[in-house]
Amino acid sequence: MQPGSDVELSVSDFVGLLNQTLDYAYNGVVIVGELANLRVSKNRWVYFDLKDEDSTVKFFGTVYQLPGPLEDGMILKVRGQPRLHNLYGFSVNVLSMQPAGEGTIKRAAELLQVKLTTEGLFDDERKRPLPYPPARIGLIASKQSAAYADFIKILDARWGGVAIEHIDVQVQGEPAVAQIVAAFDQFNAQAEPPDVLVLIRGGGSAEDLAAFSTEQVTRAVAGSRVPTLVAIGHEIDLSLAELAADRRASTPSNAAEFLVPDRQQALLNLQARLAQLQQISQQRFETARRILREQALILEQQISGKLRRDQLLAASHRQLLLALSPEATLRRGYAIVRRDGKSLRATADLSASDIVEVQLANGKFKASVTEVTAEN
């Protein structure tokens, strides 16, 4: 370019031209560096620097992009868009950020764990029981992963008839957090959500598993209206998502074992239970039969005793009746006098010349009354 041919621009035009050039050349860049000068303004805006041995770059973002509590000295991986602000100079507008490096990831998780523990997000009182076995499972996992294949294989081998609704997500890298959170939101927004939500992935490095200790994923697990099970295939450290879940499993295969019984073992248990019930039924039948025999014997003895007592009482009454009967009285020398078929009780009922019938013990005769004498 010849001297004097430089394009003259106003300050605003220069800012606009430079930003247009940056948008074209660097629509998004990923910068890794040490966090410095972190500050939050009005509980909304975030300002910080990333630096290395030779340089420092300013960044601007919002609190909603923070993966959790951060502190100066941590190593961050930030994806952003370079911009020249018309008043505040050059900075990188944050699109996403995450801790980088094992030490930083661990420290970020520790800070977030303290914060969420204070809020009660990991309290045992919040844990809900999982349905056993569930009729529908909402599965959040990468369909191409070994974790997905292991979970489905073990689930089908142990039990059948469970409906699985799967949302395919990335489980590491920059898109993982947003996709996992969106999957939880999608399941929880259903009018009839699954019985349980399962979040799984296999093992990996601290950086591979970093998404599961971010504030966004941890709160999505803790805030789910559907009971949750989280299984990350590592044993050294627990992710915060596992601590927030209603239940955790050590591996995706172990998660399937938690959710459903083993059909073979269930069949053996049923057979054992059937044999036990048959034994109990036989014992109860024998006991009932013995009790019936004992009760029948007691009832028979009671009836026999009552019958003997009634027979004795009847005999006593018979003897009394015989002793008081007219025949017995006649045999003792008494007689019954009747006139016109009616028994007479007093001399006043008789008159001289009456014809009466006199009954004795061994017969009767008729007599004519010649005289009636009354006695006081």
**Average of pLDDT values for 23-27?**
80
Q: Which domains does the chain have, with CATH numbers?
A: 11-100 (2.40.50.140), 118-264 (3.40.50.2300), 328-368 (no CATH)
**CA 290: distance to chain centroid?**
43
What would the pLDDT profile of 328-370 be if each residue is shown by its tens digit? 777 888 888 888 888 888 888 888 888 888 888 888 888 888 8
Q: What is the overall mean pLDDT for the chain?
A: 88
Q: Report pLDDT for 263.
A: 83
What distance in Å separates the CA atoms of residue 182 and residue 188, rounded to the nearest whole number? 10
Instruction: Judge contact between 310 and 318, C-beta under 8 A.
Output: no
Closest of 246, 255, 155, 270 to residue 201, by C-alpha: 255
Indicate whether 198 pLDDT > 60.
Answer: yes
The CB-side HSE value for 12 (13 A sphere, CA atoms) comes to: 0
Which strands form 342-343's sheet, in the order they lie side by side? 342-343, 336-339, 355-360, 363-368
Query: Is pLDDT at 69 greater than 70 in this prediction?
Result: yes
Q: What is the pLDDT of residues 266-304, one digit of tens each?
A: 788 888 898 899 999 999 999 999 999 999 999 999 999
Distance CA 112, CA 241 (A): 11
Give dist(CA 33, CA 72) in Å, integer.
Answer: 11
pLDDT band of residue 3 (cuts 50, 70, 90) is low
Tell me the pTM. 0.63
Residue 110: the pLDDT is 85
Q: Name the residue type at position 343.
A: S
Q: Is 363 left (phi over 0), alpha (psi -120 to 50) or beta?
A: left
Share of the chain above pLDDT 90, in %: 46
Strand partners, 166: 139
Least confident of 191-195, 199-203, 319-323: 319-323
